[in-house]
Copies of this chain bind each other. A is one copy, B any other.
Amino acid sequence: MGKKRICTKKKGTKAERELFHLFWDNGWGCARVAGSGSSKRPSTDLVAGNGSRVLALECKAIKTDKKYFDEDSIQQMLTFSSTFGAEPWIAVRFDNIGWFFVPVENLKESKGKSSFVSLDFARKKGKTFEELIGRFEQIKLNEDF
């Protein structure tokens, strides 16, 4: 159990670093936030900016097709974003598929459970990295996908 948690944390950190470099490689500045999750102040995983926009991102890497988020971490990143002046985004990396970005307010809610992002939901409502940074907007051919 302990080993599994360490592996999940390592995987999350690896994904976070991947996204960090992706921003820099595309002309954005990006910073990994120290002590995310351990400080008593509101926090987030990454902050990225390009001179006209600032994004706060909560990152998750998963191999299954669904990821739950606890309300506390969501609330923390929303408070961080509104105080700092950043757009709040959930960044989810699905194994062998890649990154999807979902605005926090679009997180799907399930009865009696926390908010979650599923692969289907991410494909329908989420953005690719290129869409997130405004490189191009993908036309959704089938909104009911």
Residue numbers of A with Cβ under 8 A of B are: 20-21, 24, 27-35, 41-44, 47-52, 54, 80-81, 83-86
Contacts and interface: CB of A to CB of B under 8 A. Distances in A.
A41 B20 contact: yes
Q: State the main secondary structure of chain A at its contact with B.
A: mixed
13 contacts: A24-B41, A29-B42, A29-B83, A29-B86, A31-B31, A31-B34, A31-B43, A31-B84, A32-B34, A33-B33, A47-B47, A49-B86, A50-B84
Given A31-B31, A32-B33, A85 B49 contact: yes
A90 to B, nearest CB: 18
Contacts of A33: 31-34
A67 to B, nearest CB: 22
A91 to B, nearest CB: 16
A84 B49 contact: yes
